[in-house]
């Protein structure tokens, strides 16, 4: 992207800067969160349902049934539509006026700005999800009512715990047969050490979802405050109508089913499972909501809970451990780079999370990693694949910068007072494959595609002198990442790639002094990653143990895991 010869500091004179009070007020309206789950827990369906309840779409994208099924707004890649899974993170921004929020002095509903970052559910794309979790203030942990806590959910929860991200739990698919609610709460408590504190309790067993019992808070903790009764709509494409009934009317309508739900709510209070905001923000408890994203039951309650309880943007620690307050001069961190979202233009979109100050389109900022000025003329907010030019943004907002070729995940942008945020660590790869172009005539396009996908972080690209640029090695957390590379090279660059699995299972960081000797060893090959890091690929753990025993002076360091 072209850059004018102005200094970054001069951009602050382009317009009257926003006051500290204005920035803090805008930040307080923002809720920036991600949805994390195991594959098939209903994450993209929930994302769509949240957008429906915010009235930014008129019909949910998931029209259920074999005929006429649509893909969700957040799943824009052809591979995602074909498989019905998310393989890339996307950002959705919309306004939402909560019915539970207090009105302003002039009687107008308080409007919150929701920045929802949809993430891949499949474990092969854990690294993409981790990048997203560096950019949010809260997470919604989605659990399948029948399957309970699954491996990918557990892994992502640990990342949230490590980063101090408070978690709201949604038990989804309550319209289908599943476990009992108390069994699911016990599993959360026992397996991840998080005390579940339900705000809404299901009326009706799994598979017979009639509505929700809203539990009281504070002085009314444990009380059955009201009954929210849902009515199904055709295919779950529209917002489900709600009736708000008193406990007395609920007992008349539902009889023993309501009485059982009310009794279980009292039992939760006796067990100390009532909401405490301080414990929630400290990561010790998790508010729980039962829902059916497919039927749009309980979705409004999820949004209202996020607005009421999830934290707004807060100060972020820089690499030197100094806090960057939300009303400090503008700063942002890039957490995702994505190309190919617009088939009409082969542009490259860098998603940045605004950390402090006000972003104004056209401002000249400083790129912390290079120290160079960077122009922001082409800035967008994104709703799935649709884009809208953004003129300004506040802490918590996610903005896409178009054709920002110098930016990569983990980079910092700022004005005025210098700041650099900690880099985003790469996951240790476990799968490796050689990448070649089927046709030599497409070599130029092949090189462009490899560089693009490498800069986005779709895979790590490794090279050495022996294999050359024509046969780089891809390193990935999971093999499905290779399928994404092949699909995107074909769709975006008209290149048919040839992918050959490589017989290595481990990667270790090494140095130039160790390279010559390591390359002599059987089952070992040294490569250079795009960021200059030298990686030794090893065939298996036994070969690694042998080398470490026989040649202890060689450098073979484990790559740092994201939760270390």
CA pseudo-torsion sign 438, 441, 443, 449: negative
Average pLDDT over residues 376-396: 83
Average pLDDT over residues 374-399: 85
Task: List pLDDT tens digits, range 164-205.
Answer: 999 999 999 999 999 999 999 999 999 999 999 999 999 999
Task: List pLDDT tens digits, range 103-115.
Answer: 554 555 679 999 9
Structure tokens at 98: 């909560």
The stretches of 508-552 forming alpha helices (DSSP H) are 512-520, 541-550
Residue 13 pLDDT greater than 60, yes or no: no
CA-wise closest residue to 289 among 216, 184, 200, 212: 200
Least confident of 208-217, 279-288, 445-454, 506-515: 445-454
* Structural domains in the chain, sorted by start: 8-19+315-414 (2.40.30.10), 141-310 (3.40.50.300), 431-558 (3.30.70.3280)
For residue 375, the Cα-to-chain-centroid distance in whole angstroms is 27
pLDDT at 60: 60
DSSP3 helix / strand / coil % (the chain, rounded to 5): 30, 30, 40
Highest mean pLDDT among 3-17, 19-33, 375-389, 488-502: 19-33
Q: How far is CA 521 from CA 245, 504, 528, in A?
A: 74, 13, 17
> How many Cβ atoms from other residues are within 10 Å of residue 87's Cβ?
21
Residue 383: pLDDT band by 50, 70, 90 thresholds? low
Distance CA 462, CA 474 (A): 6
> How many Cβ atoms from other residues are within 10 Å of residue 323's Cβ?
13
Residue 44 pLDDT greater than 90, yes or no: no
Least confident of 1-15, 281-295, 345-359, 486-500: 1-15
Least confident of 35-39, 455-459, 551-555: 455-459
pLDDT at 560: 61
pTM over 0.75: yes
Residue 6 pLDDT greater than 50, yes or no: no
pLDDT at 436: 92
115 has which bridge partners? Answer: 32, 93
Structure tokens at 152: 């990918």
**Whole-number percent of the chain with pLDDT over 70:** 84
CA-wise closest residue to 191 among 247, 139, 246, 150: 150
pLDDT at 117: 81
Residue 124 pLDDT greater than 60, yes or no: no
Annotated ligand binding at 121? The verdict is yes
Place of tokens 């920035």: 23
Residue 126: pLDDT band by 50, 70, 90 thresholds? low
Residue 21: pLDDT band by 50, 70, 90 thresholds? very high
Task: List pLDDT tens digits, range 253-282.
Answer: 999 999 999 999 999 999 999 999 999 999
Least confident of 3-17, 44-58, 231-245, 373-387: 3-17
Residue 121: pLDDT band by 50, 70, 90 thresholds? low
Distance CA 499, CA 459 (A): 13
Annotated ligand binding at 120? The verdict is yes
First-to-final CA distance of the chain: 36
pLDDT at 88: 44
**Whole-number percent of the chain with pLDDT over 90:** 57
Place of tokens 């009317």: 249
Average pLDDT over the chain, rounded to whole?
85
Residue 301 pLDDT greater than 50, yes or no: yes
Residue 222 pLDDT greater than 80, yes or no: no
Residue 119 pLDDT greater than 90, yes or no: no
Residue 154 pLDDT greater than 60, yes or no: yes
pLDDT at 299: 95
Average pLDDT over residues 357-374: 95
Residue 408 pLDDT greater than 50, yes or no: yes
pLDDT at 10: 39
Task: List pLDDT tens digits, range 50-98.
Answer: 888 887 776 665 433 333 334 444 444 454 444 444 434 467 888 998 8
Q: How far is CA 235 from CA 65, 69, 178, in A?
A: 8, 10, 21
Q: DSSP secondary-structure letter at 40?
A: T
Annotated ligand binding at 122? The verdict is yes
Least confident of 15-19, 204-208, 311-315, 486-490: 15-19
pLDDT at 504: 95
Annotated ligand binding at 119? The verdict is yes
Structure tokens at 317: 């620690």
């Amino acid at each position: 992207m072209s850059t004018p010869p102005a200094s970054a500091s001069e951009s602050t004179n382009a317009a009257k800067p926003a006051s500290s009070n204005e920035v803090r007020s805008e930040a307080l309206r923002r809720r920036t969160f991600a949805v994390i789950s195991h594959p098939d827990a209903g994450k993209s369906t929930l994302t769509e349902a949240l957008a429906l309840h915010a009235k930014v779409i008129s019909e949910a994208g998931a029209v259920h049934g074999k005929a006429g099924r649509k893909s969700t707004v957040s799943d824009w890649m052809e591979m995602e539509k074909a498989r019905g899974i998310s393989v890339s993170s996307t950002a959705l921004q919309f306004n939402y006026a909560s019915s539970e929020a207090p009105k302003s002095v002039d009687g107008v509903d308080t409007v919150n700005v929701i920045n929802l970052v949809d993430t891949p559910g499949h474990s092969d794309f854990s690294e993409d999800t981790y990048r997203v979790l560096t950019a949010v203030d809260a997470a919604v942990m989605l659990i399948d009512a029948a399957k309970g806590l699954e491996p990918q959910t557990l892994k992502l929860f640990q990342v949230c715990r490590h980063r101090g991200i408070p978690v709201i739990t949604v038990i989804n698919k309550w319209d289908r047969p599943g476990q009992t609610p108390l069994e699911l709460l016990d599993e959360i408590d026992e397996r991840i050490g998080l005390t579940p504190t339900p705000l809404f309790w299901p009326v009706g067993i799994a598979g017979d979802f009639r509505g929700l019992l809203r539990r009281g808070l504070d002085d009314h903790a444990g009380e059955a405050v009201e009954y929210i009764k849902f009515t199904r709509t055709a295919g779950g494409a529209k917002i489900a109508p709600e009736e708000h009934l008193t406990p007395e009317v609920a007992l008349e309508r539902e009889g023993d089913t309501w009485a059982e739900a009310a009794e279980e709510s009292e039992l939760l209070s006796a067990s100390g499972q009532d909401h405490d905001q301080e414990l929630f923000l400290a990561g010790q408890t998790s508010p729980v909501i039962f829902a059916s994203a497919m039927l749009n039951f309980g979705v409004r309650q999820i949004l209202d809970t996020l607005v009421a309880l999830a934290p707004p943007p807060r100060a972020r620690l820089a690499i030197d451990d100094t806090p960057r307050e939300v009303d400090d001069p503008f700063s942002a961190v890039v957490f995702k780079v994505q190309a190919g979202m617009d088939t009409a233009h082969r542009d490259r979109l860098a998603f940045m999370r605004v950390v402090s100050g006000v972003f104004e389109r056209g401002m000249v900022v400083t790129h912390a990693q290079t120290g160079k000025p960077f122009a922001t003329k082409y800035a967008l907010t994104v709703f799935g694949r649709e884009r809208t030019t953004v003129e300004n943004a506040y802490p918590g907002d996610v903005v896409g910068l178009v054709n920002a070729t110098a930016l990569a995940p983990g980079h910092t942008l700022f004005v005025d007072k210098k700041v650099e945020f900690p880099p985003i660590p790469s996951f240790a790869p476990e799968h490796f494959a050689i990448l070649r172009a089927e046709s030599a005539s497409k070599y130029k396009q092949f090189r462009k595609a490899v560089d693009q996908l490498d800069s986005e972080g779709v895979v790590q690209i490794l090279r050495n002198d022996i294999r050359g640029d024509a046969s780089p090695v891809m390193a990935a957390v999971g093999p499905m990442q290779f399928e994404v590379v092949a699909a995107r090279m074909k769709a975006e660059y008209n290149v048919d790639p040839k992918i050959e699995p490589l017989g290595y299972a481990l990667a270790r960081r090494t140095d130039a002094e160790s390279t010559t000797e390591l390359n002599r060893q059987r089952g070992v090959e040294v490569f250079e990653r795009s960021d200059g890091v030298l990686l030794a690929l090893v065939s298996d753990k036994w070969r690694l143990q042998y080398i470490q025993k026989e040649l202890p002076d060689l450098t073979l360091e484990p790559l740092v895991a994201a939760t270390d």
